[in-house]
Structure 1
Amino acid sequence: MPATRKSAPAAARRKSDAAPRPDRQQAILLAAERLLAQRGYHGVTIRQIAEEAGVPLALVAYYYGPKQDLFHAVFAHWGHTIEERLAALDATPQDPADPQTLTRIIEAFVSPVIRMRSSPEGQYYAQLVGRELAYNSEEAERVLHDFFDPLAHRFIDAIHAALPHTTRADVAWGYQFALGALLHHLVDTRVERLSRHLNSASDPAAAERLVRFIVGGLRAALPDEGSDTKTAKKRSPTPPNRRQKP
């Protein structure tokens, strides 16, 4: 009987050691985010992530599996930012007759990301997005397919509805250009030097200006309403009765 009483706490300790530790899981995730953002996917090892998190090496695989799954988990951790952007988009009235509709769509696209970037942890995530998702790696493709492609399709559809005279193919180009402006704003620090230190990198106050830039760019780059008709008129031959005599 005494042996039984002694073994019970030992069994409880073993069970406690095997149970998930949210603090350790979070430490691993944040360490992976920081190192991946700073060094890139192929510049970081699982051992380095474990050392940065201050956990045994085996725990990284225990909680997250191989490195590509940990990479995926970092983006899953930030899924709430995507949800926030889609919720803002859903709250935007889709009225193509309202000239403010496009602006509100782009605000939903930009504003949650700018707020995220202003947080200490968000800085690393923004750097990671800008560094890794621009490359056609297998790991990035999985993240794009699972998280960002569905978001892109929703915003492309919304922009197309706001600009019904365009084609969806044209809007897809416009989305790519808008995304480029947003990502560059998130990760670039050169603006401080170029402005002679009058501007701050990723300044949240610049969000409104970024929205105006993207909206203006979309309206300028995408075909105007009736442009096909104008083009057809330009290309149509001069009627015979209006031709100049030789």
Structure 2
Amino acid sequence: MPATKTAPAAARRKGEAPPRPDRQQAILLAAEKLFAQRGYHAVTIRQIAEEAGVPLALVAYYYGPKQDLFHAVFAHWSQTIDERLQALEVASRDPADPLTLTRIVEAFVQPVIRMRSSPEGQYYAQLVGRELAYNSEEADRVLREFFDPMAHRFIDALHHALPQGSRADVAWGYQFALGALLHHLVDDRIERLSHDLNKASDPAAAERLVRFIVGGLRAAMPISAQKSQPTPPRRRQA
């Protein structure tokens, strides 16, 4: 969370109560919720202030213009990126292990799905899936600062686990995997399409998504590279 800004004492009206840290948090949570539900451009600072139950001027006092508040929401959740990178480090220690690819994908998927399934993380997960999938100045700033460095780490680890393809091949695979993950975060149609047998927030969906992405990554490698891989010997029939 960004550090609290200090307003000059002379700028405060006589008798005005100083801002409280709980108000700062309320503003951040309100912005996260409204950005996730309506989209960045459909939300005004006034609506955020009303949702947070604070005076309009207090939003700018703490966070400045709307684009900086948008950025602050992602800064607040940056520990989720650290969690994924820590899991990646453990998962990629032995690229030759047949399970390494699955473990890397688990590090990519599972922390986000857990967040999506939790009451405190559901709005942020929806915000990531909704806003970062579109080209905009605000999203590009967030992607470059928070998500691109993580993406490069994952692509490098995946390349070590999939040496039959080039890093460029693996980058395509990462892009497709990201699309599957982001769509899962924001789309609730699975409930309707499954006749309410499946729930969008079901954390058990993570295992299915991991298997789907692992299979897709392997299939996305060049055809010639797949054919060149040794085929396990067939067992003789008795």
Normalising by structure 1, we get a TM-score of 0.83
Partner Cα separation in structure 1 for residue 164 and residue 224 of structure 2: 5
Partner of 1:75: 74
CA distance 1:120–1:229, shift in 2 (3 Å) = closer
| Cα shift readout 1:45-93 (whole Å, capped 9, x = no counterpart) | 1111001100011110010010000000001111011010001011124
Q: How does 1:1-246 map to 2 (within 5 A)?
A: 17-18=17-18, 21-223=20-222, 226-227=225-226
Partner Cα separation in structure 2 for residue 149 and residue 27 of structure 1: 29
CA distance 1:17–1:197, shift in 2 (3 Å) = same
CA contact (8 A) 2:92 2:157 kept: no
Counterpart amino acid of 2:86?
A
CA distance 1:224–1:25, shift in 2 (3 Å) = same
Measured after TM superposition, the shift of residue 220 of structure 1 is 1.0
Which structure is larger by alpha-carbon Rg, 1 or 2? 1
CA contact (8 A) 1:31 1:49 kept: yes
CA contact (8 A) 2:164 2:221 kept: no
Partner Cα separation in structure 1 for residue 48 and residue 177 of structure 2: 33
| Greater helix content | 1
| Cα shift readout 1:88-115 (whole Å, capped 9, x = no counterpart) | 0111243232110000000000111111
Measured after TM superposition, the shift of residue 186 of structure 1 is 1.3
> What secondary structure, in the 3-state scheme, does the structure 2 residue paired with 1:91 have?
helix
Normalising by structure 2, we get a TM-score of 0.86
Long gaps (5+) in structure 2: 1-13, 230-238
Partner Cα separation in structure 1 for residue 196 and residue 38 of structure 2: 27
